[in-house]
Amino acid sequence: MRAILRRVADSPFGVFAYLDLMNEAGQRVLRLCAGEDDWLGNKPQVSCIPAGKYLCKRKVSPHFGETFEVTGVPGRGDILFHEGNTEENTQGCILLGLAFGSLSVADEDDPAHPVIVKWGVVSSKIARQRFMLALVGVAAFEMEVRWAQPGEWR
C-alpha cells in the first residue's frame, strides 16, 4: 500500500488535498479529502509538512487511538492522521474527511476568536474509519506529498 497526498488548495483557511490510497498494482482503493494547517515554514504544531516522501507508521495515540504517524519530517514528530474539521483541529496533523465543506467556527487566527465560516473537511470520523479499514494488516506505507498540477487530482 502507498499513498499520494495531492494538495489542491492553499487558502486562508488551511491547505486542502485529496489523499489516495493505492494498492501494489497502482490502483486507487480509497480516496479521502484532507485538511492541513497553513504552510508556516514547517513549524511544529502550526504548519503543514513540506512536500516530499515520508514513511507512515501505525501508532497508538493516547488521544486518537490507533492511527498512522507521518515519520521522517525534518524537525517534526507526532504528525498523525486523525479526525477534525478545520485548521483549528490540526496542530500540524492531517485531518481526514469524506468531502470538503464549510463550517462555523471560532477563528484561531484572530485574537478575538470571532465565529466565522471556514472551509474544512466533513464526515471526518467516518473517513478515518474507512482509512483504518483500508489499512487493516498494514504496519507502514509510503506517502508522497505534492502540490497537484491543474486537473491532476481528477
Mean pLDDT (the chain) is: 95
Q: Is residue 153 part of a domain?
A: no
Domains in the chain, number: 1
Provide the pLDDT confidence category of residue 108 given band limits of 50, 70 and 90: confident
Element (H, E) at 37: none
* In-domain check, residue 26: yes
Asked if the structure places residue 120 within a domain, the reply is yes
> Tell me, what's the pLDDT at 154?
78
In a domain, 16, yes or no: yes
Q: What is the pLDDT of residue 122?
A: 97
**Is residue 154 one of the residues assigned to a domain?**
no
- Write out the residue range of the structural domain in which residue 131 sits: 2-147
pTM of the model: 0.93
Q: Give the Cα separation of 2 and 24 in Å (integer).
A: 8
Q: What residues have CB less than 8 Å from 57, skipping those under 6 apart?
A: 68, 69, 71, 139, 140
Cα separation of the two ends of the chain: 20
| pLDDT of amino acid 138 | 97
Give CA 33 to chain center in angstroms: 8
User: Is a pLDDT exceeding 80 seen at residue 109?
Assistant: no
6 vs 49: CA distance, rounded Å: 13
